[in-house]
Amino acid sequence: MTSNRWADLDRPPLNETALRRALLTDDSLWTSLDVVENTGSTNSDLAARAREGAAGGAVLVAEEQSAARGRLDRRWSAPARSGLFFSVLLRPTGVPVERWGWLPLLAGVATAAAVSRTAGVDTGLKWPNDLLVTVPEDSDKLRPGETPPGSERKAAGILAERAGDDGIVLGIGLNVTLTEDELPVPTAASLALAGAKTTDRDPLLRAVLRSLGEWYGSWRAAEGDAHACRLQETYAAGCSTLGRTVRVELPGGQDLVGEAVAIDGDGRLVVDTGERRETVAAGDVVHVRATS
């Protein structure tokens, strides 16, 4: 991608050449990396490449998406260069297909770890596919010594889609510099609003992809056993959903209300209704909301 790096000093373009140099190394999972100025959906584009035989480890990044999709085909948008909008193609040969459901949760763990380390913000994971950050509220009226209250809001979403018989495309959308006025909904957030120590997207993208590569390598080495590679334990430790009373909205207008108590070995949420324990899979859920 060719672009003038000084065209927008507040939101400069990604440096494709430097990203390739840093990430496409002999010992890296990543085999190719392309940055495009605008596209409808990086997931759709990379899935098309997968069907044409693209190698696993391909990365596609867009400075702006015009038809970005979330779970259940929900649509969202963000200003150009205001975040990281990218997809990766994985071909997890050797891992039983029934364990592939852990991949979006793995991406959440990897993204949370990279963002916390690089941007210096506290993160949480909302099952099954959201990354949360805490946004401080207006502290003008606080008394001396009081800690400013904050609200947990969504800063990133993850979408996993099958690509042929042996591929998975993982899409990640991370809000980096969006202002309050630019947020699509009041429950959204950005790293800037959470007080990030850096909003430089180049090191953030490098950190996320390196973290994702490390976690994916461990998971594959364990043949997708989330307990053996400590993915299940790590996800549960960072999951803000656990320990809360939640309302799980299911297809057909059915609701399941109870305490979210665990993530099982298949990555499903375990809900204790007080009368019984129910497990729900990500593909069966419309919404998961905390209740007061």
Residue 5 maps to a domain: no
Tell whether 219 and 87 lie within a shared domain. yes
Residue found under tokens 């070995």: 265
Tell whether 248 and 129 lie within a shared domain. no
CA atoms within 13 A on the CB side of 279: 8
Tell whether 62 and 131 lie within a shared domain. yes
Residue 6 maps to a domain: no
Distance CA 42, CA 85 (A): 8
Tell whether 111 and 207 lie within a shared domain. yes
CA 281 centroid distance within chain = 18
Burial class from Cβ neighbours inside 10 Å (0-12, 13-18, 19+) for residue 157 reads: buried
Confidence class of residue 68 from pLDDT cuts 50, 70 and 90?
Answer: low
What tokens does 28 get? 């890296």
Residue 91 maps to a domain: yes
Tell whether 62 and 124 lie within a shared domain. yes
Residue in 22, 64, 61 with CA at minimum distance from that of residue 43: 61
Tell whether 33 and 52 lie within a shared domain. yes
- Look at residue 74 and tell me whether its pLDDT is greater than 90: no
- Look at residue 44 and tell me whether its pLDDT is greater than 90: yes
Tell whether 118 and 262 lie within a shared domain. no
Residue 104 maps to a domain: yes
74-78, 233-237, 247-251, range with the lowest pLDDT: 74-78
Q: pLDDT per residue over 125-138, tens digit each?
A: 999 999 999 998 76
Residue found under tokens 């592939």: 100
What tokens does 185 get? 């909904």
Confidence class of residue 8 from pLDDT cuts 50, 70 and 90?
Answer: low
Q: In terms of pLDDT, which residue wins out, 241 or 78?
A: 241
Q: How many domains does the chain have?
A: 2
- Look at residue 140 and tell me whether its pLDDT is greater than 50: no
Distance CA 54, CA 164 (A): 11
Q: pLDDT per residue over 223-245, tens digit each?
A: 999 999 999 999 999 999 999 99
Q: In terms of pLDDT, which residue wins out, 70 or 214?
A: 214
Tell whether 230 and 245 lie within a shared domain. no
* CATH code of the domain covering residue 22: 3.30.930.10
* CATH code of the domain covering residue 273: 2.30.30.100
Tell whether 196 and 265 lie within a shared domain. no
Residue 82 maps to a domain: yes
Q: pLDDT per residue over 180-195, tens digit each?
A: 999 999 999 999 999 9
Please state the length of the chain.
292
Tell whether 247 and 104 lie within a shared domain. no
Instruction: Give the range of the structural domain holding residue 72, as residue numbers without chain letter.
Output: 16-235
Residue 3 maps to a domain: no
pTM, whole model, 2 decimals?
0.91
Distance CA 266, CA 253 (A): 25
> In which element (H, E) is residue 51 found?
helix 42-51
Distance CA 97, CA 91 (A): 11
